[in-house]
Structure 1
Amino acid sequence: CPWLIFYSITVRIGHSLNEAEKNHVTSRRESSLHKCGVYSLQEEMPNIALVASGGSERAMLGLLGSLLALFQDDLLDCVLYLAGLSGSTWCMVSLYKEPNWSSKLEKVKEDIKNKLGGNISFKEKFKKLKKYYREKDNFSLTDFWAVLYITMIVKEIDEQTFSDLRSKQSTKDPYPIYTVIDKQSHEDKLDADTFVEITPHETGYSITGAFVDTSSFGSQFDQGAQIKDQPEMDMLFLQGELKQHMSWSSVYFVDIKQTDIRSLSAPHADEAGQVLLNLVEVNRLVLREEDPSSHITVLKDLLRGIHHITNRFKLSIGVITGCFEGCIVKLHIFGSFICWIFVLPSNFLYSAEVSPSVCRETIRQYVDAGIAINSPFLPLLRRERHIDLIVSLDFSENDPFESLTETAKTCKRLHIDFPEVPKMSKEEKSAPKDFYVFEGHNAPAVIHIPLFNIVNCDDKGNHKYTTFQGPYSSDLIEELLEKAGLNIKNNKRSLLTEIKKIIQRKQSHICSFC
């Protein structure tokens, strides 16, 4: 299979769990619900997974507030797996840097809040961008997006790797699963090869069953054997990969090999940084289906005003109306065709026309899973994980049921057991309840909790927490943490009821074999 030319010393073909994950979840299952007054034998305990949708900083804080409420209500110990994608993984990355975080979540929350109040200078960002360029054979949009956009939200350049974090991993914490999608497989509608999971130990295709050691994610392989090593991906890059959107009406090309970061003074770095942040804003406007032309005009004006650093920091922006010399990116816009693509310099990039075939890279490209299904159900539906109950936290900006319905459709095509999800009315979508339960034969039960609902909001509140906006203020952070926590606290009894139902079914199943 050509797509197996990807990442690891050897590619492991199979659906079984790796030994490290098996050991982790076995130890984790020794936790119980005794604090909540629920008693059962070890074999009767349900395997519970918590899945968190995407939604940028809204998802990051929504997950943090939900976990804090689970911790305060003595429910967090029963969660075996924690799976996220896109913005919710930003929260996970911060959590898993702290060993045994699930037992000291109050402190961890304060640390995250303090971090979000900080700032990263443009000079620090450029230094990191230059480091990525020097170390990698495949410098890409993900590097650029991680350094400029992710640091703007999470206020941190996190250079730790999964190998670094393995020593900090505690079986007292849920086992983490991060989700991205294979861009080419998604476009080719290859459902089984679309969803890619990243865990501390292995990374690979959840449904197909092909995995590699996560420490080698990014190296070059041929026919399942490693032929060229690459530095292990750090957590900043992975956050960029987990939150990289692909938009389709412009093409960006990067060349930073002439950049001399040390020659830039702080004011000059800030000026160049404003150019790059405006490029990020252009992409965000396109994602919101808004006209980016005003920011393209701003870019032209900025470039005219920074000729004093042109020779030190090479950048050019080319648009359909002409080219302007400046600092780091070359931008092409071709009518309705849009695509973020970052490649190494090549003569053909400067021709009058660029074929759409430039998008068809020879390596696998992994992007934000939110563009497929905005919730990481698929990795948890691997039979080997034996999940009995999925608690779905939905932080979507629009339809809070879309991830459920799309998962149900995909599972039907792949012959995977998943509860049937009825069609929701427009009224239900715009004003959902705060707790839903979906059940199906041989399928895990799914509890679905929309972030904004008729219980914790007079209106939906989405207008204050959009996906593509700047960092939240401290007041917005506190309010969002509280609203997410209320969804758990208000439904503690309902959550326990569903858990007890699963225990009873397991008891009945065991007795039938007695």
Structure 2
Amino acid sequence: MGAWKLSFGYSLYPEEQLISNGILVARELSCLHVDLKRTGDPKRSERQVQLVVAGACEGPQDASAGTGSFHFHYPACWEQDLNVHLQDDPHEQLKVPLQTLPSSQLVRLIFPTSQEPLMRLELKKEEGPKELTVRLGCGPCPEEQAFLSKRKQVVAAALKKALQLDQDLQEDEIPVIAVMATGGGIRAMTSLYGQLAGLKELGLLDCISYVTGASGSTWALANLYEDPEWSQKDLAGPTELLKTQVTKSKLGALAPSQLWRYHKELAERARLGHPTCFTNLWALINEALLHDKVGRGVGPGLVKLRQSHQMGPSLGSMWERFPASGSRGFRLRSLPQPHEHKLSDQREALSRGQNPLPIYCALNSKEQGLSTFEFGEWCEFSPYEVGFPKYGAFIPSELFGSEFFMGRLVKQLPESRICFLEGIWSNLFAASLQDSLYWSSEPSQFWDRWAQDQANLDKEQVPHLKIEEPPTTAGRIAELFTDLLTKRPLAQATHNFMRGLHFHRDYFHHPHFCTWKASKLDRLPNQLTPAEPHLCLLDVGYFINTSCPPLLQPTRDVDLILSLDYNLYGAFQQLQLVSRFCQEQGIPFPSISPSPEEERRPQECHMFCDPAQPEAPAVLHFPLVNDSFQDYSAPGVPRTSEEKAAGKVNLSSSDSPYHYTKVTYSQEDVDKLLRLTHYNICNSQNQLREAMHQAVQRRRKRKQFRPE
């Protein structure tokens, strides 16, 4: 459902056009430009003035008298005033009714009027942009629809081959099949590589139209989609790069040289206008953990610094000798460098429908409700758009982080590198990370402390969010980021692109407005997200470890979901939470009711469907288990006695080497996990093909009963 326009006429004011999707309403916008020109004695210009337009996007503006240019965006229909006053003399005020200003004409005023003038105000009111930058619509954007049209041809050919069909599939017979990956840190990233390689080997990867990720699985997708042809190639190369990142030492991520780089980049982001939050620091650390570019050789100046007392052992461990070096014989070991890839760059990987469409998930909450989640909304990120299906509001992905008001772009910021989005998608780590940084002055102390709190857990637990004061004597790390560390780690992640939009009077009854059943806030529009200046975006693992919601949008019409679950505790727990959530929200989804035997000993693959709900997708669930892999090195190939050790993969929730706090794996552990997840997919090839065959049959059945 797209946006539509309404016109309202008033007796005193011009006709106003409203744009709405039935949930949100955008009003017409005006822009006021204000220039302050100095008059009289220049010394008096040091007095401070404040300019205010109530309800404007920009809020109060402070300046020295007679200097500066300002602008205000505000709803055109409101009877607004420009208020100017001296901060040291509140009685000296100037109030200008904006409705009286002629459009596009310069108006000059003197301030103050009751004493010698300090400055001249030059005012100019103009119409704001007519067209919205925010897309108000509840269906897929035109770019996604065009992609699906191309992808269908790839899927149809792949299904014909995989299912050995006699005839080509007609367009309305092609099912929509999706991969849904959960979070789980480096464990999730590694496992997704193994499972995608398994689907590729079986010839089933081209049958997939969507792939969604959350938390750690987004790291794998972000890496893969740097290559526009990744799914058409052998995944051995990307897998080897993954191994390099997973097994490398992570101490360098918190070396002083890296911390200064983080500090510099965060300061530049703040200068551009991005809100400051701890998640941004986590994003840069996470980038250093997962991306690596070899540093260049360095000159004698840095060698001298290396040999001085200014570098401790933590920095020294990041240096190595040239093979034949002499006095200039040191260079940096593989220092992580900024990674320039952006989310919008992934459009190239979709240009011909050659890969599935990736969708990354986050949860929007309220700062004061982080511990209880009385309020939450799913936010999705794709290479085309970022938005909230609940409100039917989306923006182009390259504009995420820019400032919007009333659906229009008012300040465009450069598109963030994808690492800052990964910091949002995976900020489950940020709470414990923040606590560890408080008390650490050396990188080794940090990692030891981070792991220590999790050592005795009997299962993986979501860290509790809390506000905590740093120690009186802060370490080197905390000193660099005092402002960040004393704030709540996850608040104010980005500017709210829905800011200023109003609610349609019947929004609550719109068929696509999905209410949060646990909260009463959805009936109070003034407390919903469009009224907030910032979004509070979180890792979905704080609520449910799933990336399923984008696939449950009725406009995407997904037939089959391949559920890739990377939890160490409870093979069906998160999927059952999804089912319960869907039941509460009235979203069609099959009941997840495994048998007692399946609960006791889950297999590699489980099928869930509900014939009574034809609109609900079927779910083929792949928990992270080590079952027949213990006895078979490949499907149907028994292990020899010498190979038995290779089949022992520790997935215990208490002492597994794959706990989500582990940031470095041994070569043996990463190889085992890759082989296990690859095997689990390949060993389930019969169930996979049968589920896809049923999806085709389901489409054909719907075609037969579709009215002419």
2:183 and 2:545 in contact (8 A); partners too: yes
Mapped partners of 1:249, 1:158: distance in 2: 25
Counterpart check, 1:340 vs 2:489: yes
2:675 is matched with 482
Identity of aligned residues (%): 27
- Cα deviation 1:374-407 (Å, max 9, x = unaligned): 1111110111111000000000121121221111
Taking structure 1 as reference, are residues 286 and 18 closer, same or farther at Cα in structure 2, changes over 3 Å only? farther
Segments of 5+ residues of structure 1 without an aligned counterpart are 256-269, 293-315, 345-360
2:37 is matched with none
* 3-state SS in 2 of match to 1:464: coil
Of structures 1 and 2, the larger Rg is shown by 2
Higher relative contact order (CA 8 A, sep 6+): 1
Displacement, 1:225?
A: 2.4
1:61 and 1:480 in contact (8 A); partners too: yes
1:152 is matched with 289
> What are the equivalent positions in structure 2 for 1:286-297 lying under 5 Å apart?
none
Mapped partners of 1:229, 1:108: distance in 2: 34
Counterpart check, 1:127 vs 2:258: no
1:252 and 1:332 in contact (8 A); partners too: no
1:179 and 1:198 in contact (8 A); partners too: yes
Segments of 5+ residues of structure 2 without an aligned counterpart are 1-22, 27-56, 58-130, 293-335, 494-531, 631-647
1:195 and 1:205 in contact (8 A); partners too: yes
Give the alignment partner of residue 431 of structure 1, picking from 597, 601, 614.
601
- Cα deviation 1:439-475 (Å, max 9, x = unaligned): 1212010000001143335676241211111211222
Give the alignment partner of residue 456 of structure 1, picking from 610, 613, 629.
629
1:249 and 1:339 in contact (8 A); partners too: no
Mapped partners of 1:414, 1:57: distance in 2: 32
Displacement, 1:230?
A: 2.5
Mapped partners of 1:71, 1:248: distance in 2: 36
Give the alignment partner of residue 209 of structure 1, picking from 389, 392, 410.
392
Alignment size in residue pairs: 454
1:250 and 1:332 in contact (8 A); partners too: no
Displacement, 1:216?
A: 1.1
TM-score by length of 1: 0.77
TM-score by length of 2: 0.57
2:92 is matched with none
Mapped partners of 1:3, 1:126: distance in 2: 44
Give the alignment partner of residue 443 of structure 1, picking from 596, 603, 616.
616
1:235 is matched with 418
Displacement, 1:158?
A: 2.2
Mapped partners of 2:462, 2:428: distance in 1: 15
* 3-state SS in 2 of match to 1:365: strand
Counterpart check, 1:41 vs 2:211: no
Displacement, 1:83?
A: 0.4
Displacement, 1:12?
A: 1.8
Amino acid at match of 1:433: Q
1:173 is matched with 355
2:241 is matched with 111
Give the alignment partner of residue 139 of structure 1, picking from 252, 269, 276.
276
Taking structure 1 as reference, are residues 160 and 410 closer, same or farther at Cα in structure 2, changes over 3 Å only? same
Give the alignment partner of residue 566 of structure 2, picking from 380, 395, 413.
395
Counterpart check, 1:363 vs 2:534: yes
- Cα deviation 1:183-235 (Å, max 9, x = unaligned): 329757567x5111000010111333221111111122223222333331211
Taking structure 1 as reference, are residues 286 and 332 closer, same or farther at Cα in structure 2, changes over 3 Å only? farther
Taking structure 1 as reference, are residues 456 and 399 closer, same or farther at Cα in structure 2, changes over 3 Å only? same
Counterpart check, 1:84 vs 2:177: no
Higher strand share: 2
Taking structure 1 as reference, are residues 139 and 424 closer, same or farther at Cα in structure 2, changes over 3 Å only? farther
Counterpart check, 1:99 vs 2:281: no
* 3-state SS in 1 of match to 2:568: coil
1:263 is matched with none
Taking structure 1 as reference, are residues 253 and 62 closer, same or farther at Cα in structure 2, changes over 3 Å only? closer
Mapped partners of 2:193, 2:687: distance in 1: 21
Counterpart check, 1:375 vs 2:543: no
Judge which range, 87-96 or 104-113, deviates more.
104-113
Mapped partners of 1:512, 1:164: distance in 2: 41
- Cα deviation 1:261-308 (Å, max 9, x = unaligned): xxxxxxxxx97655765776588789967999xxxxxxxxxxxxxxxx
2:152 is matched with 29
2:685 is matched with 492
Q: CA RMSD in A?
A: 3.9
- Cα deviation 1:103-127 (Å, max 9, x = unaligned): 1123332333344455655324531
1:18 is matched with 141
Mapped partners of 2:25, 2:621: distance in 1: 34
> What are the equivalent positions in structure 2 for 1:198-347 lying under 5 Å apart?
198-245=381-428, 273=443, 318-319=470-471, 322-324=472-474, 326=476, 327-330=479-482, 340=489
Displacement, 1:133?
A: 2.3
2:563 and 2:620 in contact (8 A); partners too: yes
Judge which range, 224-233 or 97-106, deviates more.
224-233
